[in-house]
Every structure is written in C-alpha cells, then in structure tokens.
C-alpha cells in the first residue's frame, strides 16, 4: 500500500490528498471484505486481488500510476535495442538462442510489482546488461533451453506463436522484441498479446503499437514484419499482471485461435497463474522468481530462473 500510494502521488501530483485518502480507505475496506467474506468474491486468490486493485484505481481516476515510468523506460530501452540486435546478429546460432533466453529473463527484472526488483529500480541499480550477466548460472531452476533450441533447429517452424508479454521497458524491448524478430526470421508469425488496460508496469497493447510502428521504430526488420503482418499486436482484454485465459476477449481468442505455440512470459502469467494449465499445443513459460511467497510455493529460491518448454 505505501509503495502504491507513493506512486500515485508521483504520477498524479495534482490529485488532492482527500482523493488519494479515499482510494486508500476504500482499498483497505475491500481487502478487509475479501479477508472476512471471501465467498462474496466467487473466489479469493491473487487474481481477485489484482482485479479489485485495478478496478479501484480506475474508479478513483488513477488508471495508470506507472505511465511516466513506462514511457521513460520504453524510450531508454528502445535506444539500447540496436546494440542488443547487433550482438545477437553477430553471435553463433547456439549462442544466439542462449542470449535471447537470457535477454528474456534479464528483461523481466524490470518489474515494479515485486519488492526486490522495485527496490533495485528505485535505488538506481537497474541495468539490463549487468542484470543479464548476473543471472544465475545454468542449469536454471527449470531449464529446458536445450530442448527449445533443438526443437527450433530440427523441427518445422511453428506457424503462429501467441506470445503473452509482460512488462514495458527492457522486458518488451530487449527481451521480447528480439525473440519475436528471431522467430519471424524462421517463418513463424508472431502475435504479441498484451494487456488492454494498464496494470503495474506491464506494457499495454496501445503502448506496444506505438513502440513498433511510426517514428519510435528503431529496427527496419521489425518495422517490415509489422507492415507485412508477420508481427502483430493483439489486445488480450485483460488489465491485470496475471492472466486469466478464460477471460480473454473474443477478438483475442479469434486472433490467436490457430497458434501452435503459446508463450507465457513473466512470473504473473506463467507461475502465479497458468503454472498447471495444460495446453493442446507446445508451451514456453519464462519467468524469474521475484517474490518470496511464489518461491516458497514452487520450491524455488528468490531470483531463480524458469525456462520451461512443454511440447505437446
Ligand atoms: Mg509485469
């Protein structure tokens, strides 16, 4: 609560104290209600908490407390993208696959929803390259990177990857976009499925469209993939940092219906939700374990890496 209220005050400096206090009071009362009468909420789990928080933020006019941070971090990450792409293009194929995976995991450390990474961010000890270098050594907590690489090297290209992305900044720009570009090169159509509404520092579909089109675009290949329909942005209908696949918008379901690879990126979408979900196509789950409760729940240590590839 204190972290969220500080962020609201920073993003909405003109909001008067009473309005912020109203939000805080109502939020505490809803949390109390969930605690006392969980049955009133259908189910009481972390997704319920996220949904309630976002609904209250919107109700009180604080739709997107992380907007300024996302905008700033997107610009910084886009500026670093050409260097990341050059490094990937110069790497041997095996090394390239590993660099892409490490970029995805390091990118995911830009997360203002977890105390450990939020603290790093606010301390200024926030650097993509260093984070990537300091990832735990392989094998990771769950490490299917070799199987993933073999699948791409020896199998037919996937037709269509439904890539559920997570955070703004490094995560989308230096983790997800380079991997999407790599998959498109191999003949796979990629749909980047992003939240329709703001949640924490997650990228929204609207923001993502701005990142890959128009003046912002810094890579011709990505721009071409977008204009030729190989790389698409699909709004999920969601506005939480977790993903309820039963609640995807009909448009999203229709757009992803022929996907033969599902990618669930980030702790919220691949561990806190959908960890035990079963699919009728191949699935890649990628995450860094950034929360002590989640770590205890899955038997991992804080900052452990998950690269979990589950072929059908
Ligand atoms: Mg997130």
Question: How confident is the model over 111-160, as pLDDT tens digits?
Answer: 888 888 888 888 887 789 999 999 999 999 999 999 999 999 999 999 99
- Give 99 Cα–ligand 1 centroid separation in angstroms: 21
- Give 18 Cα–ligand 1 centroid separation in angstroms: 29
Question: Distance of CA 140 to CAs 135, 233, 288, Å?
Answer: 9, 30, 10
For residue 170, pLDDT over 90 is answered with yes
- Give 153 Cα–ligand 1 centroid separation in angstroms: 30
Q: Which residues have CB under 8 Å from 8's CB, separation 6+?
A: 15, 20, 23, 57, 62, 65
Contact yes or no for 94/190 (Cβ under 8 A): no
Arithmetic mean of pLDDT, 30-58? 90
- Give 73 Cα–ligand 1 centroid separation in angstroms: 14
- Give 111 Cα–ligand 1 centroid separation in angstroms: 6
- Give 105 Cα–ligand 1 centroid separation in angstroms: 12
pLDDT band at 3 (very low <50, low <70, confident <90, very high): confident
pLDDT band at 218 (very low <50, low <70, confident <90, very high): confident
- Give 214 Cα–ligand 1 centroid separation in angstroms: 25
The structure's pTM equals 0.95
pLDDT at position 115 is 84
């Amino acid at each position: 609560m204190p972290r969220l209220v500080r962020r609201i005050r920073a993003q909405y400096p003109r909001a008067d104290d009473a309005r912020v206090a109203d939000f805080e009071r109502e939020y505490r009362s809803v949390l109390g209600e969930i605690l006392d009468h969980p049955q009133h909420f259908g189910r009481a789990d972390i997704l319920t908490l996220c949904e309630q928080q976002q609904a209250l933020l919107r109700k009180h006019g604080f739709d997107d407390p992380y907007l300024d941070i996302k905008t700033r971090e997107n610009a910084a990450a886009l500026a670093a993208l050409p260097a990341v792409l050059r490094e990937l293009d110069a790497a041997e194929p095996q090394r390239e696959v590993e660099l892409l995976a490490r970029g995805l995991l390091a990118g995911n450390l830009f997360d203002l929803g977890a105390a450990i990474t939020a603290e790093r961010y606010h301390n200024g000890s926030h650097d993509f390259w260093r984070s990537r270098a300091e990832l735990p050594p392989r094998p990771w907590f769950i490490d299917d990177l070799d199987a993933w690489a073999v699948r791409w090297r020896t199998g037919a290209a996937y037709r269509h990857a439904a890539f559920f992305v997570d955070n703004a900044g490094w995560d989308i720009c230096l983790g997800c976009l380079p991997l999407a570009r790599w998959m498109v090169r191999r003949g796979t159509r990629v749909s980047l499925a992003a939240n329709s509404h703001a949640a924490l520092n997650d990228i929204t579909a609207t923001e993502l469209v701005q990142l890959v089109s128009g003046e912002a675009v810094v890579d011709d290949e990505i721009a071409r993939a977008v204009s030729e329909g190989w790389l698409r942005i699909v709004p999920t209908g969601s506005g939480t940092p977790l993903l309820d696949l039963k609640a995807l918008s009909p448009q999203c379901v229709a757009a992803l219906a022929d996907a033969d690879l599902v990618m669930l990126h980030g702790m919220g979408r691949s561990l806190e939700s959908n960890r035990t979900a079963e699919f009728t196509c191949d699935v890649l789950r990628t995450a860094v374990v950034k929360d002590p409760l989640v770590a205890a729940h899955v038997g991992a240590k804080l900052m452990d890496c998950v690269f979990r590839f589950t072929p059908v």
